Every structure is written in C-alpha cells, then in structure tokens.
Amino acid sequence: MELGLAGKRALVTGAGSGIGRSIALALAAEGAMVAVNDVNEAGIAETVAAIRAAGGRADGCAFDITDLDRVQSRVDQLSTGGALDILVNNAALLVGHAPFMETSPDSWRREIDVILFGTLNCTRAVLTGMIAAGSGRVVNVISDAARVGQEREVAYSAAKGGVATFTKSIAREVGPAGITVNAVSPAATNSPMRQHALKEIEAKIGVERLAEREQKVRRAYPMRRIGEPEDVAAAVVFLCSSAARHVTGQILSVNGGYSMVG
C-alpha cells in the first residue's frame, strides 16, 4: 500500500530514544524528512545517525517543548521550506513510580508541563502553517493509563488523559482545514521509561518478586506479551498516511488487548 509519506516534513518530539526513536525511524523509512526533537542531544544524534544509516533523511532539533516561545521559534525555522506536514507529540516524563500521597506538586508540574503543555505548545506552533496549507497530520502518543487509570502514576495518567481530550477537541476545530488529529494509546511497552521504572521497583522488592510481577502483567494481556516501540510506530505511521485521510479524533489502542474500552 502506498502511504503517501515520501517527501513529507515531520517533527517527532521525544525522539532521542524508545518509542519516539522508533516512530522517527519508521516515518523516515517511508520517505518522510524527519526533524528529531529531544532535550537529550546525544540521543538525538543517535537517532539521526540511525535514520541516515538506513538511507533516510533526518536532522536534529533540540529544544524544550515546555517553552512556547522556543517551540514557535524552532517550528518557524523548520517551516522555512514549507509548512510541516506531520507532528507527532510523543515526548513524556515519568518522574517516579510511587503512590500519589508520596509524590510532590513539583513532580506533578514536571510531568504535566512536558506531557500536556508540551503537546499544546507544539500543536499550537505547527497549526498556523498546516491551516494555511489546508492539510496536516497530528498524532499524539497517550497511554492506557489515561483511559483506565494507573496506580502509582497518577499525575502522569492525568496528563495523558488531558492529551486524550485535547486530541478529540482540537480535531473538531481543525478538521474543516483538512487536518487530522488522532492519538495512539499503548499499554506497557518495552521503552527506556518502562525499563527505568522496573529498575526502581526491583530495588524495592527484589529480582524474584519483580519476575513474578512481570508474569502477572503478561497474563493481563490476551496476546501474552509486552509491546515493543515498533508496534506503536506502525500505528503512528498509518495515522500519518494518506490511508488514514478520513480518520480523525480517534484513539487507536496498541495494547495487546490489555484494555478494550469503547
């Protein structure tokens, strides 16, 4: 199937590792020119190198998505050759894996600033060009934690829930301009964020209890596996493609059947 992504200009946030890197690689493999965003410049360099090594086109684009002025400035620079065609809001932050009553307002703000305000900032910055062009694709990476809840990740889940609602609301506003806005919702995925959380849990409960916990987690999934970043990337590529031209305001679960919400 021809996905119509060759020559499209894409910005992927949080693409220095994990799911974001897989998304950037997948878009580049379909011929898109990818601006790789992160605050981790070493991670950006690795992603750009991997894309170029595979024959794709990519450039690094380091900036803090929580700073609207900075975001707008960099998007303006990226748009000098024409409006961006694709925005993937993937960047996220999980400060810790702890009960809500043990967390602090500072940690809540950090997670909400990156996940929710970062998505708002980047979307705001790209929409002017997309509206003028009469086309565009925005894909937000949320989480099943936002849809069914997740203990010990309360502020993170709340921020992702905000992005889910934003997805549907902004899709209604910009649909008449030919722009689609959708979200992909993974459950547990073997990303660096998850691996970091598992190390924290292991330090508290030990290797054997963590292994038992992971077995229980897998039994909650009909597919009996934890997702990989490439699973999420495939769904994002579809939503960015011409094949999804009539899909907007939707949340696509990529979760091995963990939750089957309507």
Number of C-beta neighbours around residue 3 at 10 A: 17
Residue of 25, 71, 156, 188 marked active site = 156
Q: Which of 98, 93, 104 is nearest to 156 (CA)?
A: 93
Edge-to-edge strand ranges of the sheet holding 251-254: 57-62, 33-38, 9-12, 86-89, 136-141, 179-186, 251-254
Helical residues (DSSP H) of 79-151, grouped into ranges:
105-112, 118-133, 145-148
Q: Which CA distances in Å does 176 have to 120, 122, 253?
A: 19, 20, 25
Cα three-residue angle 204-210-211, rounded to 5 degrees: 160
Active site annotation includes 156: yes
Residue 262 contacts by C-beta under 8 Å, 6 or more apart in sequence? none
* Catalytic residue numbers, as ranges: 156
